[in-house]
Amino acid sequence: MDGDRVNWDGLLKWSLAHSDGTASARTLSERDRQWFVEAMEANTVNVIKRMKEITDVMKVPQDILESQGVSTEDIEGSITVTGLLDELQEHVETIDMANDLHSIGGLVPLIDYLKNSHTGIRAKAEDVLTTVVQNNPKSQQLVMEASGLEPLMFNLTTDPDSTVRAKALGAISSLIRNNKPGTTAFKLANGYAALRDALSSDNTRFQRKALNLIHYLLQESPSDCSTVTDLGFPRLLVNLASNDDSGVREGALSSLVELARDQTSAAASSLTSGGSRLKQILENRIDSVSNLDAAELAAAREERQLLDSLWSACYSSPSALREKGLLVLPGEENPEQPPDVAGPLFEPPLRAWAAAKNTAQKEEQQQKNPLLLGAGPSGSDG
């Protein structure tokens, strides 16, 4: 073995030499066994141990790092702190490792990094924290208990760097999704006002994240429609419904549909009163979509559905897309509800796979368990 490097060529040759797929298994010599064990151990990472080492680095004050000759470029470079955060993010992709981050003392230092003076570290810490809390109720609770929402809100509303603000919003979205205490805390921290400011940004990615979170919140709590109406959201959303970016348009349309369907506040009436601005924008978008070629029309499926849903909700009549037969194309299913354009953005692939697997296992178990109707046997024969 050469230091920490694994002799993969030698390992491959050894494997091929000792197994051609036809011969029966043979007993390894002690020398071969020792060589194989060393080769495998050299490429095995003790994840918990490595996370602890990264945690120890995160606990070192910045002035101490600099006193030891670590420059600002090193701190934000791939070989030091930011590089370690990249590695940490890979480790916490699994829920168990994400939850273990708190038990080994790494969660609080990570949250402290949200307040670091270096832009790159703040942004990367937000990335890691997003991964930690995604679809993870336990870590969501731990972050809330460690006051992790406060620095995220601070970064969202005051950070001079647009990337840091956008990533803070992404972390907040993952933290409060399916987390009622987190959602409540976000609203109490003037979260909707922060989202309104994000909609006025010229950063398309930032606008998308804000729109996706607004749509989610309105779906979860329709009573918030009156709040966002009072804050002036309808006008902003109407303007964004004609944005050049398809993601921004769909996000704005999704929230407008929620407002238009709310009959308990002034949200719906605010969309159609005060002139024909919304109607004109919808007509223009419907005309534009109607003139798309077949491939583009298929790609605009979500927008077609949203335009028709919003038109129907506001004007109690089918849209021109429906009348022209462009709402549902051949081979498409007829949707009963407008698409959820926000949900997939909050599902990390690895955890989405795990959730689907758990659901399948539960369904299989339910099929195995007999359904008992009525009282069971009394225990006597007569």
Q: For residue 162, what is the domain's CATH number?
A: 1.25.10.10
Instruction: Please enumerate, as own/partner, the contacts of 83-87 that have beta carbons within 8 Å and a separation of 24 or more.
Output: 84/54, 84/57, 84/58, 85/54, 85/113, 85/121, 85/124, 85/125, 85/127, 85/128, 86/124, 87/50, 87/54
Handedness of CA 208, 211, 215, 217 (dihedral sign): positive
Collapsing DSSP to helix, strand or coil, 334 comes out as coil
**Which pLDDT belongs to residue 64?**
72
> Do 171 and 291 belong together in one domain?
no
Ranges of the chain with pLDDT below 50: 1-6, 78, 370-382
Assess whether 313 and 240 both reside in one domain: yes
pTM, two decimals, is 0.75
Report if residue 85 sits inside a domain: yes
The answer to whether position 66 is within a domain reads yes
pLDDT of residue 121: 92
185 with 61, same domain: the answer is yes
The verdict on 182 and 235 lying in the same domain is no
Tokens of 311: 């038109």
297 and 175 both lie in a single domain:
no
Q: At which of 123, 154, 189 does a domain end?
A: 189
Residue 2 DSSP symbol: B
Domain presence at residue 63: yes
Same domain, 60 and 117: yes
The answer as to whether 247 is a domain residue is yes
Looking at the fold, whether 179 and 66 belong to one and the same domain comes out as yes
What angle do helix axes 8-18 and 30-42 make, rounded to 10 degrees?
140
Residue 117 belongs to domain spanning: 45-189
Q: How far apart are CA 278 and CA 275, in angstroms?
A: 8
Q: Are residues 78 and 184 in the same domain?
A: yes
The predicted structure's pLDDT at residue 124: 96
My answer on whether 127 and 62 are in the same domain is: yes
CA-based angle 118:122:128, to the nearest 5? 140
Structure tokens at 33: 């066994």
Is 265 within the bounds of a domain?
Answer: yes
Within a domain: 73: yes
Residue 378 maps to a domain: no
198-222 per-residue burial string, b: 16 or more CB within 10 A, e: under 16: bbeeeeebbbbbbbbbbbbbbbeeb
Q: Report the alpha-carbon distance of residue 39 to residue 33 in Å, rounded.
A: 10
Buried b or exposed e, range 101-123, using 16+ CB within 10 angstroms: bbeeebbbbbbebbebebebbbb
DSSP conformation letters of 202-266:
S-HHHHHHHHHHHHHHHHH-GGGHHHHHHTTHHHHHHHHTT-SSHHHHHHHHHHHHHHHH--SSS
Per the domain annotation, does 198 fall within a domain?
A: no
Judge if 153 and 251 occupy the same domain: no
> Do residue 51 and residue 185 come from a single domain?
yes
Domains: count for the chain: 2
Tell whether 151 and 276 lie within a shared domain: no
Decide which of 128, 159, 189 is a domain's last residue: 189
Burial 172-184 (b: 16+ CB within 10 A, else e): bbbbbbebeebbe
Q: Would you state the structure tokens that stand for residue 358, as one six-digit string? A: 């758990």
